[in-house]
Copies of this chain bind each other. A is one copy, B any other.
């Protein structure tokens, strides 16, 4: 744990260890700062909310986590190192599906190149309705 932090060029502190441990332990995509804060405190690991904000900012800079922001929702973080992926989001129930399409990635590259741009990263989110919600919507309105 400490080694990970050190290797990332981060100072080792109790809070950072706990936080990182927590991220690995819950291994969930898309945790909000509030989630992390609540989660840690629920486990009796007391930590300040602003500290979570600061640590996550550091972690992001160090490349340990990735920060995402969907439409007008709060920022979420996830451990980096998982393969790159994009998101499908259900507008009704909020379900979140991850997918990856190499062909899309390639086209992005080409599009950027066409305008003389290099690609650092991208964000691609598709909003729609999932199978279950579509069915529910239909049965409600379709009578």
Contacts and interface: CB of A to CB of B under 8 A. Distances in A.
Count identical subunits in the complex. 2
Given A88-B111, A117-B131, 18 more contacts: A69-B71, A69-B72, A71-B123, A72-B75, A86-B111, A88-B115, A97-B115, A101-B107, A104-B107, A104-B111, A108-B126, A115-B130, A116-B131, A117-B128, A118-B134, A121-B126, A121-B128, A122-B125
Given A104-B107, A107-B103, A121 B127 contact: yes
B131 A114 contact: no
B126 A119 contact: yes
Contact of A104 (B69, B108, B130): B108
A116 B128 CA distance: 10
Given A97-B115, A99-B114, A103-B107, A120 B129 contact: yes
Given A101-B107, A107-B103, A122 B112 contact: no
A17 interface: no
Nearest to A123: B125
